[in-house]
Homo-oligomer: A and B are copies of this chain.
Amino acid sequence: MSQAIILFAHGARDPEWAQPFERLRAALAASNPSVMVELAYLELMQPDLAAAAAALAARGATAISVAPVFMAQGGHLKRDLPQRVDEVRATHPQIRFSLQPAVGEAHAVIDAMATHIAAQALKQ
């Protein structure tokens, strides 16, 4: 099996907005050298999910886990993203796709945010 991850973010007009996602990609790649990691965006930035999936298919991915890098699950993750995952599933039937919950909902992530925010506030 050749595992891949697509980090799926919202996208923004400001190119600097992508920097934390690039850093997240680098952190994942560094700690999981056998896993292919690509970014994809809902809107305003490239590539979109279809282009990221096609790139990973061309590199031989057999399983792709789509990880929404969102703080919470709203309409984008409840409706738009599952539709897009269904579309890439139909385009790449040889690849097993799975869809993670919003990363911002994970307990460990919430704990890390709480610790960081409290430390910043106490530095005030």
Q: Which residue of B lies closest to A19 (CB)?
A: B72
> Which residues of the partner chain B approach A16 to less than 8 Å between Cβ atoms?
73-74
The secondary-structure label for the interface of chain A is: helix
Q: Which residue of B lies closest to A105 (CB)?
A: B20
- A81 interfacial by beta-carbon distance below 8 Å: no
Q: Which residue of B lies closest to A69 (CB)?
A: B71
Interface size class of A (residues with CB under 8 A): 35 or more
Select A114's contact among B17, B24, B96, B98, beta carbons within 8 Å.
B24
Beyond A19-B105, A24-B110, 10 extra complex contacts between A and B, CB < 8 Å: A10-B71, A13-B75, A16-B74, A21-B71, A28-B118, A32-B118, A103-B117, A108-B112, A108-B116, A111-B112
Q: Which residues of A contact B (CB under 8 A)?
A: 3, 5, 7, 9-10, 12-14, 16-21, 23-24, 27-28, 31-32, 35, 63, 65, 67, 69-75, 78, 96, 98, 100, 102-106, 108-118, 120-122, 124
